[in-house]
Structures are given as C-alpha cells and as structure tokens.
Structure 1
Amino acid sequence: MESKFQTRNMPISFSVVRQKLLVRLNTLDRAFERHILTPSVSRYVDRFALQEGLLSSLWQAWCEFCRDVVIGAVQGATTTTGIVVSSQAYAARTEAEIAYIAKQLAQQRNVTTIKPISGRYSEPTWGDVNKLNLIVTGLGPSNQQTLLSGFGGVTSIKDLQICRNASAHINGENIAKVRAARVRYLHTAFKHPSDTMRWIVPTTKDYLWRSWIDEMELVSDLATQ
C-alpha cells in the first residue's frame, strides 16, 4: 500500500513551497473576482456555496503551506535566502513521526514517546498560529526565531479561521465568534458566515478577502527567509 506520507532524501526548497502557495492564492483570488465581485449566481444558497468553497480552499492552502514549512524546517530545507535549516533533535524523524510530535505539542502534552501519526486526519490544525507557536518552539528548528517572527505577524488570518469554521460548522457558538469579529470591520451585515469575505477593512477600504490574501503573501515571505 502506498504511504500517505512523503519520504524525503534531500532538503526541500522554501522558494518552491512559497511559490506553490502564491499560485494557489492567485487562482482563488481570480475566482473571487469572477464569482463574488461580479456575482455569477443570484440565489442565496448558490452564493453561499461558492463563498464557502472559496473560504475553505483559502484556509486549506494556508494550512498546507504552514505544514510544509514546519516539517521542512525540521527535516531539512533551504530558505529563500539560501540558508540550510533543520532540527538537531528531530531531523532524522519521518514526516509521520514529526506530525505526531507536532500533535502532542499543539495539545501541550509532554513528548514521552514518538511514533508515526495514524493519518493526516489526526494532525494538528497547522494554520492555527497559536498552535504553530507551540509546535515550532517544541520542534526547535534552527530557523525557529524566523518562523516565530513570521507567524507572529498574523492578525487577519485568525479571523479567516473563525469565519471558515463557522461556515463549515454552523452553530450558535461559532456564529457568536463571527459577530464578535465585526467590531474590526465595516459593512458587516451577513446572512451566512461566508459573507464575511466581503466585509471592509477600515485601513485599506478593501474586502476582508483581500486582507487574508495579502497577509498570507507577507507572512509566507517572512517565514521562509
């Protein structure tokens, strides 16, 4: 049976990892322009489905980038500035083992044993910056401070996580979190949590969707140096 995890024999390139994210962001942003700025559907249910799909895809792109960067920094990677990084403690571990360690660290558990994680469905939420700080600190790659500094600049992506979770799991608790986020934005009426992508950021006078894209581009640049 084919393994769910990749085997790596040489350092990955953070330039390649970041470029993969940028291509994905550009694709999603074009879809936003086609279907949201110039609505291609008129029924609410159709619009919500399109918006929810974009939210989910954007969140997944961010999570995948964070995962690639952290695991790469542990096993061995070349940064965009040409520096080779790795973790002295865990560089020899497999991807599945590193994911298992990351899960323990994200849950603030002591890492007493190391084994392959059962599957990617069991992995931590890589895009959650609060968990990322715990994971990066515990894994201790040589570019730890660069990663912590880069991911520490995340602000609006935290609201993406709130809005995506509320769209995927509509319940009173998640809707309350969306309502609490309204104080940071303008034109915040919504019929569905995915409407948040069209809220306006006061400082830029642009859509919140664009703020998420811009922040991912900036943070990915800082974290991969």
Structure 2
Amino acid sequence: MTDYVFTPAPIPSIAVQDSDARFPLRRVFCVGRNYSEHAREMGHDPDREPPFFFMKPADAVVPAEGVIAYPPLTSDLHHEVELVVAIGKGGADISPEQAFSHVWGYGVGVDLTRRDLQAQAKKLSRPWEWSKAFDESAPATALRPASDIGHPSSGKIWLKVNGEQRQIGDLADQIWSVSEVISHASKSVVLKAGDLIFTGTPAGVGALQPGDVVTAGIDSIGELSFTLGQA
C-alpha cells in the first residue's frame, strides 16, 4: 500500500445517465473557436485557423444543477454551451475514420469563462488558464453512452439565460467534426480513457450576473439547468 504524505482527494468523476456507475475523469481538453459565427464574434477568421486546444482541471467538472459559484477576480463571466465527448479508449495519432471507436459517450457542458481575464491574457500574450481553469468552470450533464445514442453529427445546441435565448446553433455547424477534433488532439498527446473534450461553442456568448438561471441543451443528448451564485 502506498504511503502518501496526506490523504489523496477522491478521483474526479461525472455521472452516467440512468446508472449508478460513474465515469472517472482524467483530463479536460477544450476546443477554441469551432463554430464560424463564434470565431467571427471573437474577431477571428474561421477559414484560416486549425483547431487549437486549452485545458481545464478534471475537478472543474461539476454537475450542471443547483447553484454554481460566481468566481472571484472577474466582473465579466461568460457562458459557452458545448458538446462534451467522453473518451473511453486511449490512443495516439488516431485517424478520423477510427475516432468514434474511442468515444464512450456524450454530454452537454458549459465552459464558463472569465472574459476580462482572458482579454488581459491575450493583450499581454500570456496563457489563458486563469480565465478558463477555475473552480466549477465546467458544469456538465450526466453522460449518455454512445452505445445508446450513437454518434450525433447534427442537432440543435442552445443556451438561455432567465428564459431568454442567447445561443443557438447546430452540431453540423462545427468547423471541425468530433472525429476530426479527436484525430487532431491525438497527434499532440496520447488520449486516454477518462479524457473529456469540450468541442466548442456557437455564437451568442455573453455575460452572466449573480442570480441568473442558465438552461441549455443539445438534441438527443440532454439538458441542464443551474443558478449562478452570488459574487
């Protein structure tokens, strides 16, 4: 038995729909600017950019329900609804044709972003981590196994704040498909079981205020609802 200097934290995990089993989490990769209109609203040319990735810690993934904390150090917290892909079998240099054999399931997540800190980091050519990788920055639904729902390549993806439509798009609008995203990521790192990939967000991102109720969903995958806590 390993003798640790303190008791290790529990393994981060995410619920599985209609099951007592949980999906253990290893790493969380996020794709930036994977919908054309969102790339344009952020001031970039989607026709010229290959996919790029940033990361969140595994314990940033929390159930997308109840109250989610409004984080410190920001007055411009933004919502970004995303398709979440759960990797169930590892691999390196995976071809797009083989990518789906590595997918365990899918969920719906929200990439919460401290936009003011991100803008500062961009201006100073610094990393994005402090704007993306904070506590509770990745609320997500329970996962649905691909064995139950297949591999959706289309379907409405949407987000509302206090019942008002903010984001709406279709999975078919992604610049880089799920299989292409997995392939690109696996050329840089060895993907392993337990990795999650947040696959990008459609246009309409915007600021959230304490007390806001966020609802979101993706056709055939799931829906979520949470309230933003006080600053």
Alignment TM-score > 0.5, same fold: no
Highest RCO, 1 vs 2 (Cα 8 Å, sep ≥ 6) = 2
Q: 1 or 2, which has the higher strand percentage? A: 2
With the length of structure 2 as denominator, give the TM-score of the two structures.
0.23
Larger radius of gyration: 1
Q: 1 or 2, which has the higher helix percentage? A: 1
